[in-house]
Structure 1
Amino acid sequence: MPSTSSSSSSSSSPSSPKVVLITGTSSGIGLAAAIAAARAGWQVVATLRDTGRAGALRTAAAEAGVELDVRQLDVTDEASVAAALSGVIADHGRLDAVVNNAGAGHLGTLENESVADVRAVMEVNFFGVLHVSKAALPHLRATGGRLITVTSVGGVVGQPFNEAYCAAKFAVEGYMESLAPVAAALGVSVSVVEPGAVATEFVNNIGVDLQAEIDAAGPYAKPLQAYLDRTTAQFLNGAQTPAEAAEAVLEALTANRPAFRIQTSDWARGFTGTKLADLDGSAVLGLTAQWVS
C-alpha cells in the first residue's frame, strides 16, 4: 500500500487508543482536526491525496508534540481508498471513526461552465465521501464507530455562484441524513459538521484567478463582482480559524451522543437556521439576492 508514516503500530489491544481516519489533512480544517484528535488521545491516520504536501501537517504535529500516521488516500480513486482502509486495519487492527473532510471549492454559474465541470465537483465533494464511507462502514460496524462528514453551511443554504459546490454539499447532507437511522440501527453514529467561513480557505480552495473570472463572466460580471466583494470581506473579517472549526469535529468524535447536525459557530447556526425555518423559501432568497446586487 502506498503510504508514508510518522508512527507505526501493531495489532490493537484493549488499551490501544481509538483509531480515526481523517481525509484531506494537508491544510485547513482537516489538518486542525488531525492535531486536535491526536491531542485528545486518538490514534490519527491523517490522509491526503499527495503526501508530498504533508509538510505543514508534520510541522504542526511536531509543534503540538503528537504523532500522526500519515498516509496517501485519493477519495476519487476507489483503489486508493480500498488500499488505505486495508492498510489501517492491517496496521492498527481497528477503525473507530472516519472524518470525511477532503473536498474542493468551486466558483461558477451554469451558463458559463460545462456540465463536465459540475461532474468534477460532484466527484470530489460527493462521490469521494461515498467511496470512503462505503469502505469504512464494515469496520465501523465492528467497533460501534462514528462516521463524520464535514459539509458546509452551503449544504443547507444555496449560494450564488456556488451552484455546483452547494449541490454536492446538499447531496452529502441528504445522503447522510438518510443513512443516519440505518447506520444507527447497526451501532454506527452518523454526523455532519457545517462550517461557515474559515480563514484562508476561500480563495485558496477555489484555485482560480478571481479577476480573470470576472473578466470572462460576460453578462454575469456585475453580480459576480458584487458576490466576490461581499464574500471576500466576510472571509477576511468574520471567518473562524481552522482550529476553531475543528472543535466541532472533535465534539462529533467525543460526545456521548453526538448530534446529527453540528454547526461550527454561532454565525453558522444562525445562517443555517434561516433555511431550516424557511418553509416557502422567501427568507433565503431575500438574503442571498442581496449578495449579487
Structure 2
Amino acid sequence: MASVGTTSCVVTGGARGIGRAIAERMVARGHRVVVTDVSEAVTATAEEIGAAGLVHDVRDPDAHRAVAAEAARHAPLAAWFNNAGVGDDGTLVALTDEQVRRLVEVNLLGTMWGTRAALDAFGPAGGDVVNVASLAGLTPAPGYSV
C-alpha cells in the first residue's frame, strides 16, 4: 500500500464486530477510512473511531461505486475490505426464498460488486482487496446450506 496517511480504504459491514476492528486498525495506521454498513449505527461508529461513515446496502452495485467515490474524495483508494455478511442457518428446504436470495445477494454478489468497484477505483497504483469470510467459507458447515 502507499504510504500511511496518503491513502483511503473502505470497510463494508463496519458498524460493529470484525468490520469495526478492521476500520479502527486502519485509522490507527493513518489511513483515511470510509466505513459502511446497512445499519444507521455506522454513523456513530465512524464518529467514535475517526472515520467517514456511510449507510450502504452491499446488494446495490451503484452504492459500491458511490462508496468508492467517497473514499477517493478523502485520498487515493488503496484498500477495500469486503466484510459485510449475513448468516441464516438451516437446511436448504427450511430456508425461505427470501433468506436464500439475501444470503446470495449479500455474501456473494455484495463481495463481487465491492471488488469490481474497488478495482475500477484503484487507478494505476493498484490496491488490495480483502474478502472476509466465516469458517463456512472454507469448508461445509452443518446447518449452513447456502
| TM-score bracket for this pair, using the shorter chain length | 0.7 to 0.9
Structure 1 vs Structure 2 CA RMSD = 2.1
Partner of 1:88: 71
Retained in 1: the 8 A contact 2:79–2:128? yes
Residue 113 of structure 1, CA deviation: 2.2
Distance 1:81 1:34 in 2: 17
Partner of 1:139: 121
Please, which of 77, 88, 92 is the counterpart of residue 60 of structure 2? 77
How many percent identity over aligned positions?
Answer: 29
Distance 1:57 1:70 in 2: 8
Q: Which has the larger radius of gyration?
A: 1
Distance 1:133 1:110 in 2: 27
The structure-2 alpha-carbon separation of the partners of 1:101 and 1:32, relative to structure 1 and needing over 3 Å to count, comes to: same
Residue 142 of structure 1, CA deviation: 2.3
Structure of higher RCO (CA pairs closer than 8 Å, 6+ residues apart): 2
Partner of 2:91: 109
Partner of 1:29: 18
The structure-2 alpha-carbon separation of the partners of 1:127 and 1:59, relative to structure 1 and needing over 3 Å to count, comes to: same
Distance 1:87 1:60 in 2: 19
- Unpaired runs of 5+ residues, structure 2, are none
Is 1:45 matched with 2:34? yes
Q: State the aligned residue count.
A: 144
Is 1:57 matched with 2:39? no
Higher helix share: 1
Residue 58 of structure 1, CA deviation: 4.2
Distance 1:129 1:85 in 2: 14
The structure-2 alpha-carbon separation of the partners of 1:136 and 1:59, relative to structure 1 and needing over 3 Å to count, comes to: closer
Letter in 2 for 1:28: G
Question: TM-score, normalization: structure 1?
Answer: 0.45
Is 1:127 matched with 2:141? no
Residue 163 of structure 1, CA deviation: 1.1
Question: TM-score, normalization: structure 2?
Answer: 0.87
Retained in 1: the 8 A contact 2:46–2:52? no
Retained in 1: the 8 A contact 2:5–2:30? no
